[in-house]
């Protein structure tokens, strides 16, 4: 009987070790997944903030340029109003080069 008992104890010890190892692997994967999730969030937010800043800088430059040139501002407003319209609905600007 003691041989079977020893064999049973060895099998139980192996399964206990394997169970602990699997638990550790699951924890390591959870840590990895959490890290990836947090880095994804950080990068996504950072890229969005940078895009907003870049757009703000560009709009500031445009605003400054339009404030300095009222004629340019009028043309800009007209083009901006029709920007998403189909091409056949664009305003026809007079061609002053043909004289």
> Rounded distance, CA 7 to CA 1, Å?
10
* Structural domain boundaries, residue 34: 2-83
For residue 44, is it within any domain? Answer: yes
Tokens for 90? 């664009």
Q: Say if residue 14's pLDDT is above 70.
A: yes
For residue 92, is it within any domain? Answer: no
For residue 73, is it within any domain? Answer: yes
For residue 58, is it within any domain? Answer: yes
For residue 36, is it within any domain? Answer: yes
For residue 7, is it within any domain? Answer: yes
Record the pTM.
Answer: 0.56
Tokens for 69? 């040139």
Q: Say if residue 81's pLDDT is above 80.
A: yes
For residue 63, is it within any domain? Answer: yes
Q: What is the pLDDT of residue 13?
A: 79
How many structural domains is the chain composed of? 1
First to last CA, the chain: 116
Average confidence score pLDDT of the chain: 87
Burial of 76 (0-12, 13-18, 19+ CB in 10 A): middle
For residue 25, is it within any domain? Answer: yes
Q: Say if residue 43's pLDDT is above 60.
A: yes
Q: Say if residue 45's pLDDT is above 90.
A: yes
Q: Are 91 and 84 a contacting pair, CB within 8 Å? A: no
61-78 pLDDT per residue, tens: 999 999 999 999 999 999
CA geometry: angle 12, 17, 19, nearest 5 deg: 95
């Amino acid at each position: 009987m003691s041989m079977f008992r020893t064999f049973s104890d060895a099998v139980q010890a192996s399964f206990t070790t394997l169970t602990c190892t699997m638990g550790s692997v699951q924890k390591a994967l959870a840590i990895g997944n959490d890290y990836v999730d947090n880095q994804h969030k950080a990068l996504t937010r950072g890229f969005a903030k940078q895009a907003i800043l870049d757009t703000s800088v560009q709009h500031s430059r445009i605003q400054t340029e339009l404030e300095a040139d009222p004629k340019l501002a009028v043309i800009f407003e007209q083009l901006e109003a029709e920007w998403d319209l189909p091409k056949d609905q664009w305003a026809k600007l007079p061609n002053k080069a043909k004289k």
